[in-house]
Structure 1
Amino acid sequence: MRDLVENEEFTLLPDLAVRPLGGAVIWADDEFFAEKENLINPGPADYRPSTFGHKGQIYDGWETRRHRGRPGDDSAIVRLGVPGVIRGIVVDTAWFTGNYPPAVSVSALEIDDYLPADSIAAHDDWVVLIDRSPVVGDSRNLFTVESEKRWTHVKLTMHPDGGVARLRVHGEGRPDRRLLGIGPLDLAALENGALVLDCSNRFYSSPNQLLYPGLARRMGDGWETARRRDDGNDWVHIRLAGPGMIRLAELDTSYFLGNSPGAARLTGRTSDGTELELLPRTALLPDTRHRFPIAPMAASVEEVRLDIYPDGGLARLRLYGELGA
């Protein structure tokens, strides 16, 4: 397999379409050989040779029938788990060699109403993000997106037919602003607009998973660093959903037993760069949801740094509070 674009920086951003974030493939005009839902499964596509069902070789992806003169192209629509700004898209044709599409295009739509899938498919406001472009089989085909608009749905179109293993839609969450401030707010939730800006190490898994909704279901659902062999410590830097006052911090080490951090510290940063200690260095237990009240703050913070000592893994980070003025 090979990459068509050398710059993969946007792939460090969260995949807004992935199933664990609540993404769903809501519509496709054909899925004769392989189900559309496979497009957004977490993890790379799998392949087992000589595994045949009633419709042929079983593929871990989305595959349509051969057109045989049937007009038009094949499309699938994904409702993003986290609506947001899209920075790049990966059309992964892993394991599709003689049956991948010659070309693809991607369009997007912003619509917060809960409409039936057929109505969304027939919507006339779709905006092209990626023009019809050639793709290569058994490859991660990368495309950058130049748009600052917020999107809720994407449509992948194959020209004319074939199979795609995975669709990754990397970007930054942008919530429905009408819903913010109604009840307790997790200022560190990806779906509310928080974003990992940087981290010291992402050897085993992405730090973006710290900000995922729901509880982790296994160790691989969190953030885990490599073992350190020096005197330093690992850290992650997060931009909050907006400047806010944090009242409660939850540091969840669920499923991390022999590899949980020994301790952690939280530091906030205000808009003028002032640093505020939110949680002093505090011992952590393995496989535990720790909840720490945060003392009243002197000012709203817009960024947070989580230091773990010396290394290890966390399942989730929650920072509950309210948006500042």
Structure 2
Amino acid sequence: MCVSRSECEMIPPVGCCRAPLPPLIHRSSLPSTLLPTMAPSTANEVETMTDLASAAYGSRILFATDEWFAPASRLLLPEPPVFIADKFTSFGKWMDGWETRRKRITGHDWCILALGLRGAVDVVDVDTAFFTGNNAPRVSIQAADFSQNNNALKILTAKATDDRAMGVCATPEEFKLVEQLQSDNWMEIVPPTKLGPGYAETRHNLLQVPPSKRGPWTHLRVNMFPDGGIARLRVYGDVEMDWTRVLSSKLLDLVSVEHGGKVVGFNDAHYGHPRNLMAPGRSKTMADGWETARKATRPPILKADAETGLLEVPGKDWVVLKLGHLGVIQQVEVDTNHFKGNFPESCVVYGTRFHGNEDKLLKDGAVKWEVVLPRVKLQAHKQQYFSVADGNVNLIPTGVNYVKLEMFPDGGISRLRLLGNKKEAAARL
């Protein structure tokens, strides 16, 4: 391991010769070819899981042994990695991920990250995209739950920055501080595992976490053996929230990812994933929302219903979301931020109180849905608010724990907020 910043400076910055690769294949789902230890359905299941390690949810790198070619913070970026053939830095080839120098001393490289969302981990996707001759050969992952205060962790967190530098390695002072976490003794949730290189067919390394090691966790240690590059780290699982500390009188967003909201299923995510609907804050771009493809079945000339004024369209797009807790919805916010020429004409929100196989929620007529928000017209690039108090939202006193958002005929919605109150424990399913 690197022991001083002066050692970093001893190695002169040099360029490297890496042939540009053809663009990665863009797929709506991860490849079905999995490592032998994976369940066959894992690749499809992660499509609806929450990435607990996304920087969009506040995840941050607290420590890294080495960040010569590329900083570890890029591991957590929500955007897919890219390759820019002619982009170089004074430290070598620019790469969209975390890349350490070639090891010329004892040890191996590793980093520690704080999950933005405390949760139970099911699957980890170690994505080596574009790291073809320089990917980390092996990786292991350890985890810890620091729900209680830890002094060393406080200091590391206070020093953490989203804009980490390259061309550096950890100082002796940083090593001394991080040693107080005793991370080498954390629970190993993924044993040392061989990684595939960053080609389209082998870049996604899906590593399943045993049920007994799911957590919940707040921090991870990522070990690469011995060095190299990783483009992205996706940590898929379920957010753990202590609902016993939430008063039933408190109004909060029941579907927010921060409160345990998650995607159950959807019919289309051509341009943007529906998990973005539940993300904190307003969307930064169109890519930070849910956007579907244009309906190929749309009629040559659109007509409106004479009574409602709503367009008569042949199709719709939908997503089913699970709330963090059974609750009574009081207010609905539909935000089309950044969707100006591609917002839906209208939308409707349904709710249900359901317990059982979630596959039934995705089949027409299998579950009884009640209307929460009747079909309403939407506007471009705007937050629209509807409430029980204004008579626009139907009150369902028994509560719902799943909702279904339908938009007509297609388009983009950036955020869906469902403000409401949790039902008491006695009313939970």
Q: Structure 1: how far apart are the matches of 2:79 and 2:410?
A: 24
Task: Give, in angstroms, the shift of residue 67 of structure 1.
Answer: 2.4
2:330 corresponds to 1:247: yes
SS at match of 1:46: coil
Map of 2:342 onto structure 1: 259
Task: Report Cα offsets for 1:243-298 as digits up to 9, x if no partner.
Answer: 10111110111111121111111111024765322111111111110110034323
Map of 1:47 onto structure 2: 83
User: Residue 109 of structure 1 contacts residue 125 of structure 1 at CA under 8 Å; is this kept in 2?
Assistant: no
SS at match of 2:56: helix
Pick aligned residue for 1:106 from 111, 133, 141: 141
User: Residue 94 of structure 1 contacts residue 165 of structure 1 at CA under 8 Å; is this kept in 2?
Assistant: yes
Task: Give 1:264's aligned amino acid.
Answer: C
Pick aligned residue for 2:192 from 108, 117, 132: 132
Task: Give, in angstroms, the shift of residue 53 of structure 1.
Answer: 2.4
The structure that has the greater radius of gyration is 2
User: Residue 80 of structure 1 contacts residue 152 of structure 1 at CA under 8 Å; is this kept in 2?
Assistant: yes
Map of 1:63 onto structure 2: 99
- Using the size of structure 1 for normalisation, the TM-score is 0.92
Q: Residue 156 and residue 93 in structure 1: after superposition, are their counterparts in 2 closer, same or farther (change >3 A)?
A: same
Q: Residue 185 and residue 34 in structure 1: after superposition, are their counterparts in 2 closer, same or farther (change >3 A)?
A: same
| Runs of 4+ deviating beyond 3 Å | 1-4, 176-183, 271-275
Task: Give, in angstroms, the shift of residue 223 of structure 1.
Answer: 0.2
SS at match of 1:8: helix
Q: Residue 225 and residue 52 in structure 1: after superposition, are their counterparts in 2 closer, same or farther (change >3 A)?
A: closer
2:208 corresponds to 1:144: yes
Q: Residue 290 and residue 171 in structure 1: after superposition, are their counterparts in 2 closer, same or farther (change >3 A)?
A: same
Map of 1:296 onto structure 2: 395
Map of 2:351 onto structure 1: 268
SS at match of 1:89: strand
Map of 1:207 onto structure 2: 274
Pick aligned residue for 1:228 from 295, 300, 323: 295
Task: Give, in angstroms, the shift of residue 121 of structure 1.
Answer: 4.3
User: Residue 82 of structure 1 contacts residue 175 of structure 1 at CA under 8 Å; is this kept in 2?
Assistant: no
User: Residue 276 of structure 2 contacts residue 415 of structure 2 at CA under 8 Å; is this kept in 1?
Assistant: yes
Task: Give 2:351's aligned amino acid.
Answer: G
Task: Give, in angstroms, the shift of residue 178 of structure 1.
Answer: 6.0
Task: Give, in angstroms, the shift of residue 179 of structure 1.
Answer: 5.3
User: Residue 10 of structure 1 contacts residue 171 of structure 1 at CA under 8 Å; is this kept in 2?
Assistant: no
**Backbone CA RMSD of aligned residues:** 2.2
The structure in which a higher percent of residues are strand is 1
Q: Residue 296 and residue 94 in structure 1: after superposition, are their counterparts in 2 closer, same or farther (change >3 A)?
A: closer
**Structure 2 regions of 5+ residues with no counterpart?**
1-23, 26-30, 35-39, 157-177, 298-313, 356-366, 389-393, 425-429
Q: Residue 120 and residue 200 in structure 1: after superposition, are their counterparts in 2 closer, same or farther (change >3 A)?
A: farther
User: Residue 372 of structure 2 contacts residue 395 of structure 2 at CA under 8 Å; is this kept in 1?
Assistant: no
SS at match of 2:46: helix
**Structure 1 regions of 5+ residues with no counterpart?**
none
Task: Give, in angstroms, the shift of residue 77 of structure 1.
Answer: 1.6
Task: Give, in angstroms, the shift of residue 59 of structure 1.
Answer: 1.7
Q: Residue 52 and residue 313 in structure 1: after superposition, are their counterparts in 2 closer, same or farther (change >3 A)?
A: closer
